[in-house]
A and B are shown apart, each in its own frame.
Chain A
């Protein structure tokens, strides 16, 4: 999976036609064979753009920053990235007419060790769902698989599970990298930082981390697209996907197979209602 050449050509053409002000893509990090996101404003830098199975980051995250927010931007999205982009469009954070989207029919990306990422093995929507141009051969929708870690977690008792999470969250240093790396965490002022939120703020105690991360995961429940940007960013290597995948499973089972951001214009599971919603749980 190497679309570097195609992406360079498209970006060059977009700049030449004056269709975009910035291009969000990947480039080599300069010291090993890993890549980093790059925001290009100078057409001359187009040649640095790459796209391979090492292009792990979700670039829709860079649309919420000031240097792209009100600009015309081109960007590259894989299946999962396009779902978060879809949600950003639905939640009025970016405007579709300002974007030129290169969708990738993604075959999965790899981690530092060259192993295919777990979320790519379990990927349900490998092809970009919103795009202007598609690269690669679309593979279609795949079946929903319950994450193996979640299955293991379900076997633990309630107390045991809580203890497990408390132990994990003790390592949280409250750096908020998870939040900053998440494309869907765009609030002007996060609730965790607000003065009234006495449950979360204060020192980085296990309790405050526990509450903050739980709140964060609930704010992403029904919206998380499993891109794992948060896990990649976490300096403490916390298994944050456990929170999100558990929510995803519960929501998939109870909200008519809801998958975040797959349908255009569809909001997160908790933010929409229809008269056809099942109501058999109401006594």
Chain B
């Protein structure tokens, strides 16, 4: 005979104001199986938990019902209380009389009390059918996969590797470094981006616990937390990295010129190239789309001049497999294409550039040697107009969100412009100045005071050519008048968007993404680096726009999460997962189709006792199953049961009301 204890919480005034708690207790006492019922101001407090522990012993209770707030809030707390009293923690049921009753029925105390009574009755009925469950242990492969070799991926890989956990770092381009390698100086301290980044890049290459796989991409991920299997395609580089010394003869001799992605297409690179001089690994790859030999079968100059004979035109893409336990996704960002801003003449006027192009120009190792120039005639601009929020915060043409970093880098650009061209003047059109961050406000002030940058609050309505100049017509919102600036160069702070392959990557990994392609975190406040899929974490701009300090912090947070995951040899997992009753399973495999976690496979079992003929039944991979219950819903023969939500439990609940 079941002996149920019911513990009803006031939750201060949260519940007690709208639910008559003593009445709920009286109602509970009327249930035959309830041997003890009591109320308390805060059940989750230590004295409240002590009441539960004492009652379990004193009344020899077999299951516990706590009528309080949402189980999301305190289910774990109360389960622990049960454990402490020597009871199986899964014999607990939480009746949510706060969110489900007091908060939603504030106008009718009587009805709220009645509903609270019903919820308690249901929970008692369910708890009677509760079974003792035990946490599942899943073995862990202690190796992390980091996707993306920008600053986020580099930081995550280094932090994980420093904990003596092997890391596989996959980077799509020939070198790690990412966007940060393209930057000149960084806000708010103006230290040189390359100077702080390249030592980390070298660390990655030389770290004994990091396996760097450049020029490759993840094409498949199977398995579950702690036990993933990743397939990585290494794109053919046509260069044998083992023998290549990176001497550079090949790319000096190569006759093919291709727009240089690293310099935003401002200058040219060769068909065999390293993206930039500080590249890690500093080995060239051949761009198969442009190499004359690979396209037409003639040329081969690089192979002729290579002393080591490292050029191998017959090289093929190679697929390698790695067993890993956790994944950090750090695929970074791209710039939004500003073409929809027709009134700015984007694409029509050569002297309108985006901020990354400006960044490359003012970079010491950039295509112009650090001097900003007008793309149309190569002259040094004296008046530069910066336009912020191009695409950002613009529902009509671009995207709703704020790109977060543009206010700061535009202030930086104003300072850099002043440093490079002393007699220049920057005009900055802005909507708001968002400079929240340590030293950020001061930095913007510095741009305004030190460089004399003119901040104009307003949108630009039109840009048109007048002789050599670009006329920028906009609004000065503070003075309430129209302004027109005669500019030599216009720099657009275009919105930042996630890398275009993000949705495909998210589908491959089985994680969710938003309408822009940003990967979704599990909880915006409390689980900002986890995804909804256990063992997959997010770092950097793949999740949302963010600056370098935030990116590095998030990457280190990912590393902490990975290290935590790998702390033991096995992982504990919630036992509330599905199980298949083979006897009832007819092998229709509808559950296989609807499982969002690919946790269901099939197995062959004998048709009957001693039978040689086999039949197919479903099998749940307990490491992967998250207990969502989709399979239970589609199983017509009720062969699948979800522990903690079995049919007897649910039917008891239904019958109780």
Query: Residues of A at under 8 Å CB distance from B?
Result: 70, 91-93, 186-191, 194, 196-199, 219, 267-268, 270-273
Contacts and interface: CB of A to CB of B under 8 A. Distances in A.
B86 interface: no
A196 to B, nearest CB: 5
Contacts of A92: 587-589, 616
B637 A268 contact: no
Contacts of B647: 196-197
A230 to B, nearest CB: 16
Nearest to A91: B588
Interface in B592-615: 593-594, 613
Contacts of B639: 188
In the A-B complex, the 9 residue pairs with the smallest Cβ-Cβ separation, listed nearest first, are A187-B637, A91-B588, A271-B590, A219-B636, A191-B638, A196-B647, A189-B584, A187-B586, A188-B586
Contacts, number: 54
A144 to B, nearest CB: 25
Interface string B608-643: 000001001000000000000000001011110000
B24 interface: no
A197 B648 CA distance: 8
Contacts of B637: 187-191
A267 B636 contact: no
Contacts of A197: 638, 647
B585 A188 contact: yes
B192 interface: no
14 contacts: A91-B590, A92-B587, A186-B588, A187-B636, A187-B637, A189-B584, A189-B637, A190-B637, A191-B636, A191-B638, A194-B584, A197-B647, A199-B651, A271-B593
B583 interface: yes
A196 B638 contact: yes
A201 B102 CA distance: 38
A223 B589 CA distance: 15
Contacts of A187: 584, 586, 636-637
Nearest to A88: B588
B583 A188 contact: yes
B585 A272 contact: no
Which of B589, B634, B638 has the most C-beta atoms of chain A within 10 angstroms of its own C-beta?
Answer: B638
B634 A270 contact: yes
A197 B594 CA distance: 24
A189 B583 contact: yes
Which of B590, B593, B655 has the most C-beta atoms of chain A within 10 angstroms of its own C-beta?
Answer: B590
A267 B593 contact: yes
A273 B585 CA distance: 22
A191 B651 CA distance: 14
Nearest to B641: A196
Nearest to B633: A270
A156 B583 CA distance: 43
B586 A186 contact: yes
Contacts of A198: 651, 655
A194 B586 contact: no
The B contact surface, by secondary structure, is: loop
A191 B635 CA distance: 10
A1 B464 CA distance: 79
Contacts of B587: 92-93
A271 B651 contact: no
Nearest to B613: A70
A189 B634 CA distance: 15
A272 B638 contact: no
B578 to A, nearest CB: 16
Given A93-B586, A93-B588, A194 B594 contact: no
A268 B613 CA distance: 28
Nearest to B646: A196
B508 to A, nearest CB: 13
A135 to B, nearest CB: 30
A198 B655 CA distance: 10
B588 A194 contact: no
A267 B584 contact: no
Contact of B638 (A70, A194, A271): A194
Contacts of A268: 590
Which of B637, B647, B648 has the most C-beta atoms of chain A within 10 angstroms of its own C-beta?
Answer: B637
A188 B587 CA distance: 9
Contacts of B613: 70
B265 to A, nearest CB: 34
Contacts of A91: 588-590
B617 to A, nearest CB: 9
Contacts of A199: 651
A58 to B, nearest CB: 18
A190 B655 CA distance: 22
A194 B655 CA distance: 17
A199 B585 CA distance: 21
Contacts of B584: 187-189, 194
A125 B632 CA distance: 32
Nearest to B638: A191
Which of A197, A271, A272 has the most C-beta atoms of chain B within 10 angstroms of its own C-beta?
Answer: A271
A188 B582 CA distance: 9
Nearest to B637: A187
Contacts of B583: 188-189
A267 B589 CA distance: 10
Contacts of A219: 636
Which of A187, A272, A273 has the most C-beta atoms of chain B within 10 angstroms of its own C-beta?
Answer: A187
A190 B639 CA distance: 10
Contacts of B593: 267, 271-273
A220 B636 CA distance: 9
Contacts of B636: 187, 191, 219
Nearest to A198: B651
B544 to A, nearest CB: 23
Given A92-B589, A267-B593, A273-B594, 18 more contacts: A92-B587, A92-B588, A93-B586, A93-B588, A186-B586, A186-B588, A188-B585, A188-B586, A188-B639, A191-B637, A196-B647, A196-B648, A197-B638, A197-B647, A267-B590, A270-B634, A271-B593, A272-B593
Contacts of A272: 593-594
A188 B634 CA distance: 15
A187 B655 CA distance: 26
A231 B647 CA distance: 31
A282 to B, nearest CB: 14
A196 B651 contact: yes
A70 B616 CA distance: 13
A196 B639 CA distance: 12
A271 to B, nearest CB: 4
Nearest to A194: B638
B511 to A, nearest CB: 14
Contacts of B655: 198
B494 to A, nearest CB: 29
A260 to B, nearest CB: 13
A211 to B, nearest CB: 12
A94 to B, nearest CB: 11
B586 to A, nearest CB: 5
Contacts of B590: 91, 267-268, 271
Contact of A271 (B585, B616, B634, B648): B634
Interface string B101-114: 00000000000000
Contacts of A267: 590, 593
A263 to B, nearest CB: 15
Nearest to B649: A196
B594 A271 contact: yes
Which of B588, B638, B655 has the most C-beta atoms of chain A within 10 angstroms of its own C-beta?
Answer: B588
Nearest to A195: B648
A187 B585 CA distance: 7
